[in-house]
Structure 1
């Protein structure tokens, strides 16, 4: 949930329960109890799903906890998780993928999943979502599993059914959050973002350099904003790129992770379609359904763009290992080639923040 020394537990029931509780602790002999906040989802058939969630706080960093959730009417199995290590020098491991993948959860500290939630969670009145959650349960009950709200749900630059207010609210929140993080680089040494629809992609037949005149492509809307709304909606590239000091702009982020495109593509440090001092972009959307394979552009492979360092259409997933305060390692693993590492990169920074660019 973004709070230090905390962990969020979420589960669902088909029936309403009189009580929803998580019992947890460092061992089975001394358990604490935490009350949940419940949410009711109702599909078009009137099918109800009760979603229970609780945030466990004041956890001991890097310590193993056991827990189970439910009530006296029925409990889950006894499960476990490890609270996140809060040391700035801690080396953490991440598994990152677009739609789905099969991984051994115990070698990772965090799972990042750019899932198209509309096609997964809500299809067939939530039954597909139920099956999906059952499939990932062997991972998600042990390792923090973070998803991103994607294209098919409420990706706000493209989904304006609720107006444009959300665009501006997120923009202002993002600016404020980045200002805090960028102003505290002693503790926030590596700054990474995750989003669904990428700003750049070799799969797109046209780039968005014509945006200011006629082009309103989806890539342009995320990168540069929208000029067809009132007021015009700001884009994200400048706010993600810029760290302002003495009226000069320097890259503030280290890494930007994206999905949507059903390929793996690693870009050079790019800003405004030019290779320059900028964050590294990685598109990791290649763990996809079979129906998407035929639609992938072969041009991204045979005729790569100048700002594209590597592109591949194999099904696969990305692994990220933050080794220490200066070294971050990324590799792309091909599931089609039985776990072969097909691309890797070290991001090395002896200094962080704007001073790294001098």
Structure 2
């Protein structure tokens, strides 16, 4: 009797172990703004094939009043296991700007938790509010808890993650990327999570970055632009200057796109409506760190271009200056650094007393200290003359584009329990290249 019972139990266990798992539950939910007012993209992952459905409705009204359907794409990780995952995308349209919506995503094979977001407006009375940072990993994501709390408290309208995710998304056959996307779901499922690629996304030709995120345009999220409030925001890849093995043509294609986008943004009718031009990309043109990165060299590829290519690859400092870019946001260095208005290594403050009032060159902010396994970077002992403030504290930056003339930035130290350790008000009564005169 006992032997028979053991055989039955063992047979049941063996049968259970032989059944392949079904992975139809949505996870890694995040949202992004596709650049069209009244719309939002919902992106998530499953490990098995399912439908792609979002049920949603206005806050305070009938729950799941609306249904939208999208599609999924198969993504195969480049590692040894060749793990498969399905990336789902659904675009919500005809949203009422400024209105809060509840939603969940998935299918009848499994639904996500309930989330909410506020549809973005392109015109604002008090200016959109951002959290910005780069270099946040799955291990030691020092600033994540504070960002989770502040995001769900409604402090931010938009998140800008300026490259380097998870450390690294491709590791352990993509499982580290999965875990990181689950971690940031508590931020990215509530406000648009806008991104650019960093050097830590390089594996398999940036495949995890290109597949996991859903940014505007048709460049697989590598470069794009969008409008919000009085700002035109440009996201691009500095990595095209470093990983030439994936194609030198990408560098020239991006440069041509940047030039055309800046020309369009500078048309008088466009600059009148969106006077602020803000760029975001991973590796900075300037920094006073001591780690021999590109920005520590006077011949920076990003700033000046490359002379060792055929044809010669153009840099970006002259282009951005020529088209009157106001603010340039960077990461990569695991520190925070604010620069005086600078061009060609020369300081062009508005005045001695008010350097950020009508400056005569772009302002650069480096914010790469959100927290990762590589810990902090160091600074050279004596700051360069164009370096205004430096900190090695873990933390992140807040930004509010208040109106057409005022933009506010402050740096939050997570090491000092959320203390604001630096702030500036950037004031520009004129925008465009004529502002430099």
Gaps of 5+ in 1: 212-219, 244-251
1:57 aligned to 90, 93, 106, which one?
93
Relative to 1, partners in 2 of residues 1:87 and 1:163: Cα closer, same or farther, differing over 3 Å? same
Give the SS at the match of 1:147. strand
Using the alignment, how far apart are the partners of 2:311 and 2:64 within structure 1?
Answer: 58
Give, in angstroms, the shift of residue 231 of structure 1.
Answer: 1.4
Contact kept in structure 2, 1:7 and 1:83, CA below 8 Å: yes
Match of 1:221 in 2: 301
Using the alignment, how far apart are the partners of 1:108 and 1:118 within structure 2?
Answer: 22
Give, in angstroms, the shift of residue 93 of structure 1.
Answer: 0.7
Instruction: State yes or no: 1:231 paired with 2:314.
Output: no
**TM-score between the two structures when normalised by the length of structure 2:** 0.73
Gaps of 5+ in 2: 1-33, 137-142, 207-238, 349-359
Give, in angstroms, the shift of residue 88 of structure 1.
Answer: 5.2
Relative to 1, partners in 2 of residues 1:133 and 1:118: Cα closer, same or farther, differing over 3 Å? closer
Give the SS at the match of 2:389. strand
Give the SS at the match of 1:185. helix
Give the SS at the match of 2:252. helix
Match of 2:192 in 1: 144
Match of 2:279 in 1: 193
Contact kept in structure 1, 2:54 and 2:103, CA below 8 Å: yes
Instruction: State yes or no: 1:22 paired with 2:54.
Output: yes
Give, in angstroms, the shift of residue 90 of structure 1.
Answer: 4.2
Instruction: State yes or no: 1:34 paired with 2:69.
Output: yes
Match of 1:317 in 2: 396
Q: Any idea what the Cα deviations from partners look like across 1:245-304, whole Å, max 9, x if unmatched?
A: xxxxxxx111000000111000011111111221100000112325433xx3342xx311
Using the alignment, how far apart are the partners of 1:90 and 1:298 within structure 2?
Answer: 37
Contact kept in structure 1, 2:68 and 2:90, CA below 8 Å: no
Give, in angstroms, the shift of residue 57 of structure 1.
Answer: 2.5
2:337 aligned to 243, 265, 269, which one?
265
Q: Return 70-79 or 262-271, whichever deviates more.
A: 70-79
Give, in angstroms, the shift of residue 118 of structure 1.
Answer: 7.3
Using the alignment, how far apart are the partners of 1:194 and 1:317 within structure 2?
Answer: 15
**TM-score between the two structures when normalised by the length of structure 1:** 0.88
Contact kept in structure 2, 1:88 and 1:325, CA below 8 Å: no
Using the alignment, how far apart are the partners of 2:297 and 2:334 within structure 1?
Answer: 19
User: Which structure has the larger Rg over C-alpha atoms?
Assistant: 2
RMSD of aligned alpha carbons = 1.9
Q: Any idea what the Cα deviations from partners look like across 1:216-257, whole Å, max 9, x if unmatched?
A: xxxx111111111111111111111113xxxxxxxx111000
Q: Return 22-31 or 304-313, whichever deviates more.
A: 22-31
Using the alignment, how far apart are the partners of 2:121 and 2:198 within structure 1?
Answer: 28
Give, in angstroms, the shift of residue 56 of structure 1.
Answer: 2.0
Q: Return 78-87 or 19-28, whichever deviates more.
A: 19-28
Give, in angstroms, the shift of residue 330 of structure 1.
Answer: 0.4
Q: Any idea what the Cα deviations from partners look like across 1:140-174, whole Å, max 9, x if unmatched?
A: 11111112111122511111122201001111111
Contact kept in structure 2, 1:120 and 1:128, CA below 8 Å: yes
1:254 aligned to 320, 326, 331, which one?
326
Contact kept in structure 1, 2:170 and 2:176, CA below 8 Å: yes
Contact kept in structure 2, 1:89 and 1:325, CA below 8 Å: no
Relative to 1, partners in 2 of residues 1:223 and 1:355: Cα closer, same or farther, differing over 3 Å? closer
Using the alignment, how far apart are the partners of 1:66 and 1:226 within structure 2?
Answer: 48
Q: Any idea what the Cα deviations from partners look like across 1:155-209, whole Å, max 9, x if unmatched?
A: 1111112220100111111111111112111221211110100000101477544
Contact kept in structure 2, 1:41 and 1:51, CA below 8 Å: no
Match of 1:166 in 2: 250
Q: Which runs of 4+ in 1 moved over 3 A?
A: 204-209, 354-358
Using the alignment, how far apart are the partners of 1:195 and 1:351 within structure 2?
Answer: 24
1:124 aligned to 163, 172, 194, which one?
172
Contact kept in structure 2, 1:182 and 1:188, CA below 8 Å: no
Give aligned pairs, total: 336
